[in-house]
Amino acid sequence: QVQLVQSGAEVKTPGSSVKVSCRSSGGTSRRHAISWVRQAPGQGLEWMGAIIPFSETADYAQKFQGRVTLTADESTTTVYMALIGLGAADTAIYYCAENNPSLRNAFHVWGQGTMVTVS
């Protein structure tokens, strides 16, 4: 059973940066993309970007270009999401999710979410 386990909550000051991790276990393929989706308090879901850990190829939503960087560590089956230039609008729960090609790249397995507070 594939599982994604994320790092713990963070509190950051405006202008700083944050790095959230997402460790996979249970035999997921490193060729499956891992996406990052965020959710501001009381708001909807917003896709930030995705990375294929095997090749470290990443794509980013235009809104986050230049501010977010996705990386992968093969040795620990962990993906990282780094966001710079934090502002109050970045306060949100950040989720990682596996895009399953067998399900037409649906976000099938989700991490538990990481709360990032900018204050």
Partner 1 sequence: QSVLTQPPSASGTPGQRVSISCSGSSSNIGNNVVFWYQQLPGAAPRLLIFRDDQRPSEVPDRFSGSKSGTSASLALSGLRSEDEATYYCSVWDDRLSAWLFGEGTKLTVL
Provide the binding-site residues for partner 1, judged by CB under 8 A: 35, 37, 44-47, 50, 59, 61-62, 95, 97, 103-108, 110-113
Rounded Cα–Cα distance for residues 97 and 100 (Å)? 9
Residues 6+ apart with CB under 8 A from 102: none
Nearest distance in Å: CB 1, partner 1: 11
Between 102 and 119, whose beta carbon lies closer to partner 1? 102
DSSP assignment of 83-105, as one string?
E-S--GGG-EEEEEEEEEGGGTT
Between 49 and 53, whose beta carbon lies closer to partner 1? 49
Between 1 and 13, whose beta carbon lies closer to partner 1? 1
Nearest distance in Å: CB 28, partner 1: 15
- Residue count of the chain: 119
Query: Strands 78-83 and 92-100: what pairing?
Result: unpaired
Nearest distance in Å: CB 75, partner 1: 26
